[in-house]
């Protein structure tokens, strides 16, 4: 008598997963960034999503397609996964397109703190019309650092981020540094979030009043 074949049931892992909509920070209009699946909302925390500025704003003009933002999930509520800024950078292909022979590429990296306590690492880059001298490079680099540091000390996190991404800080660097040597382009190449301000602790008197 023939034996019956044992039927092995394969559990469909996807059937137990739920899709969560990734939401951009409020200062980016709470735009939907896509979806991510998970069988537990806690597994969505700290996931990252990358989008270009064009995808985020719907504006595909000029350099927006070359500007990439990375957001990280910090909170899940219902079907939504809320994100915060993690990193901004220009795509490598764009940077490579600006690099030319017999010209100088001047870079600077500086850690700054905004007026509301966000610590950021800002990487700026300038491209000259022709190759310049080492002393001129140092002078241009000093201007880049001075302006980035000064603006961060005057603006809060969102304001500083907007001025860097939308080109106001690079434009200010260009205006001042071209006096040292003719420049072709200045960009903020990358911004990384190093640390956020600690939440303010509730005063004991206020805490007792709330508890009462």
pLDDT score of 11: 52
Domain ranges of the chain: 16-89, 91-195
Kindly indicate the confidence band of residue 120, based on its pLDDT and cuts at 50, 70 and 90. very high
Supply the mean pLDDT for the chain: 90
Q: Tell which residue, 37, 36, 28, 163, has the closest CA to residue 86.
A: 28
Cα–Cα distance list, 197 to 71, 139, 193 (Å): 18, 33, 11
* CATH no. of 91-195: 3.30.479.30
Question: What pTM does this model have?
Answer: 0.85
Contacts of 18 by beta carbon, 8 Å cutoff, 6+ apart: 37, 38, 39, 41, 79
pLDDT, one tens digit per residue, over 51-60 is: 999 999 888 8
Distance in Å from the first CA to the final CA of the chain: 78
Mean pLDDT confidence for 149-159: 98
In whole angstroms, what is the distance from residue 41 CA to residue 47 CA? Answer: 11
Q: How confident is the model at residue 35 (pLDDT cuts 50, 70, 90)?
A: very high
Per-residue pLDDT tens for 13-22? Answer: 656 789 999 9
């Amino acid at each position: 008598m023939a034996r019956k074949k044992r039927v092995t049931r394969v559990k469909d892992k996807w059937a137990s997963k739920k899709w969560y909509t990734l939401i951009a920070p409020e200062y980016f209009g709470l735009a939907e960034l896509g979806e991510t699946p998970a069988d537990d909302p806690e597994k969505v925390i700290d996931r990252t999503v990358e989008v270009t500025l064009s995808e985020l704003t719907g504006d595909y003009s000029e350099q927006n397609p070359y500007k990439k933002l990375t957001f990280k999930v910090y909170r899940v509520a219902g079907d939504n996964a809320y994100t915060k800024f993690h990193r901004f950078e220009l795509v490598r292909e764009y940077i490579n397109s600006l690099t030319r022979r017999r010209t100088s590429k001047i870079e600077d990296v500086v850690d700054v703190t905004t007026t509301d306590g966000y610590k950021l690492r800002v990487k700026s880059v300038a491209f000259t019309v022709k190759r310049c001298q080492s002393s001129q490079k140092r002078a241009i680099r000093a201007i880049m650092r001075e302006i980035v540091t000064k603006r961060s000390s005057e603006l809060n996190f969102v304001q500083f981020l907007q001025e860097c991404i939308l080109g106001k800080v690079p434009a200010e660097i260009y205006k001042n540094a071209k006096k040292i040597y003719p420049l072709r382009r200045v960009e903020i190449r990358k911004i990384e979030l190093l640390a956020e301000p600690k939440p303010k602790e509730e005063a004991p008197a206020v805490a007792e009043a709330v508890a009462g």
